[in-house]
Amino acid sequence: MQNLFEDILVAAEGPVCLVTVNRPKVLNALNARVIEELCTLFTRLRSDENIRAVVLTGAGERAFVAGADIAAMAQLAPQEAEAFAARGHHVGELITTLPQPVLAAVNGFALGGGLELALACDVIFASRSAKLGQPEVNIGVMPGFGGTQRLIRRVGLGHASRLVLGGDPIAAEEAAAIGLVDVLCDPASLLAEATALAKKIATRAPLAVAASKKALHASFELPLAEANRLEQRLFGQLFATADQREGMAAFLAKRPSQFSGK
């Protein structure tokens, strides 16, 4: 996959796409250009049948994404700030609705918009040296890219309130203990462990993975009965796919499956 961006790096290793926010001098802070590049990339990935899983990380060892670019935000008027937040929300929505799973590899600071970016991902891997938090109240604002909503869905009202209202970051060990981080890794093995899961996902039936992801996210958006009906419909629809026939035939024949995404 050719890299056509200025502030993100995109590399494909077979069916896995590695996306790196590449502004290490400012701890990979999110500005308007990074957000637009992420929007463009994740829009393109929706229709890329060659990519079956994505790993998202930050350049260098110090930060995943240390937040939004404060220098760029400081002089925004209220309407401009709301529009900026809308683009940040759009990135999160593109990630959560992407058919392919997106795994965050948090390699340092994931603060503010950086944590919100990770929260949009399906699984969060983190280095044991990482720090995660929503410190916006310390600079007179609040989370604006979905943090108040996605954080509470991950860790509950109490922990979310402590992080958002207190504004202090927490260590990766504590983040794992409250369910904010899914997999803790040694710094040297972080990317390898996240990529290993991405490669495993890439061997699974793509349509089944996409349907499963859709149903999982629906659990936060729909009443239980309606979400169960969605699962039922998606389950039935998969029986019209070549991958269902291949997967079950391979299982019965005790051979590896060869999925086509059809």
* DSSP structure class, residue 101: -
Average pLDDT over residues 13-25: 97
The structure tokens listed for 146 are 């979905």
Residue 246 dihedral angles phi and psi, to the nearest 5°: -65, -45
- In the predicted structure, residue 256 carries a pLDDT above the cut 60: yes
**pLDDT, position 2:** 58
- In the predicted structure, residue 109 carries a pLDDT above the cut 70: yes
- Say whether 61 is catalytic: no
Mean pLDDT of the residues in the chain? 96
Strands 170-171 and 131-133: antiparallel
Average pLDDT over residues 30-38: 95
Nearest of 108, 112, 151, 146 to residue 130 by alpha carbon? 108
Q: Which domains does the chain have, with CATH numbers?
A: 8-202 (3.90.226.10), 206-253 (1.10.12.10)
The structure tokens listed for 209 are 């993975």
* pTM score, whole prediction: 0.95
Instruction: Work out the percent of the chain whose per-residue pLDDT is above 90.
Output: 94
- In the predicted structure, residue 1 carries a pLDDT above the cut 70: no
Average pLDDT over residues 175-183: 98
Range with the poorest average pLDDT among 33-47, 59-73, 191-205: 59-73
For residues 74 and 132, the answer to whether their CB atoms sit within 8 Å is: no
- Residue in 6, 49, 136, 221 annotated catalytic: 136
- Residue in 37, 82, 93, 116 annotated catalytic: 116
Q: What is the pLDDT of residues 144-175, one digit of tens each?
A: 999 999 999 999 999 999 999 999 999 999 99
- Say whether 6 is catalytic: no
> What contacts 91, CB < 8 A, 6 or more positions away?
35, 38, 39, 42, 117, 120, 145
